[in-house]
Amino acid sequence: MPEVGERPMRADARRNYERIVATAKDLFTAHGADVPLDDVAKKAGVGAGTLYRHFPTREKLFEAVYRDEITVLADRAFVLHDELPPWEALKAWLLAQVTWVVERHKLATILKESIDSGSETFQYCQKRLREATGVLVEAAQEAGLVRPDVVGADVLRLGHGAGMAVRNCSPDDGKRVLNVILDGLRA
């Protein structure tokens, strides 16, 4: 999306941007980070000039894909907060995060290796996830369901660790690990 202070995109430019990001995400997931950008443009149905106008470097495209992935994940927490009771929302969020880590591990690794941890994109993504998780943790704490010493970042770390730990396990093993974490969060 445009940087702060830039003009909003025209509707056709926004559609092209979104198609490029979605296509890049699919291709990076399936084939790795070395997919030729011309292949991304072709599969997205845009010209190379359009791709390079939006993403002058491969790193800018990686950043856009990473932001999109994290935005979708964080938005899920806010939806769960609005739709479910606090404990159920936290459980559903933790499951969503663990599932994301398991399913997107290769893509996330590619993207994180390509983005400087001090970059604005990385800082934005970290802040967004912490805010989203914090909302769920605070709601569960207010309801007396989660230990008062837990913060959103703790849940993020636990979810990431669980996802990494159960990547090659059975679904039953994954559920058991998740239940152990949830029991540890209870007040």
Helices 86-114 and 152-166 cross at an angle (nearest 10°) of: 70
pLDDT at 42: 96
85 is written with which tokens?
Answer: 């009771």
Q: Is 58-185 assigned to CATH 1.10.357.10? A: yes
For helices 58-83 and 86-114, the axis angle rounded to 10 degrees is 180
Predicted confidence (pLDDT) at residue 138 exceeds the cutoff of 80: yes
Degrees to nearest 5, angle at CA 73 with 6 and 177? 155
Summarize pLDDT for 14-47 with one digit per residue, the tens. Answer: 999 999 999 999 998 888 888 999 999 999 999 9
Q: pTM for this structure?
A: 0.82
The CATH class that applies to domain 1-56 reads mainly alpha
**What confidence category does residue 9 fall into, taking pLDDT thresholds of 50, 70 and 90?**
confident
Where in the chain do CATH 1.10.10.60 domains reside? 1-56
Place of tokens 């969060």: 185
For residue 116, the SS3 value is coil
Tokens of 31: 């084939």
**How is residue 147 annotated by DSSP?**
-
Listed in order, the ranges of the chain carrying CATH 1.10.357.10 are: 58-185
Report pLDDT digits (tens) over 54-90.
999 988 998 899 899 899 999 999 999 999 999 999 9
Count CB atoms within 10 A of the CB of residue 159.
Answer: 23
Q: What share of the chain is helix, strand, coil (3-state, %, to 5)?
A: 75, 0, 20
Per-residue b/e over 24-51, b at no fewer than 16 CB within 10 Å? bbbbbbeeebebebeebbebbebeeebb
* Contact of 61 with 17, CB cutoff 8 Å: no
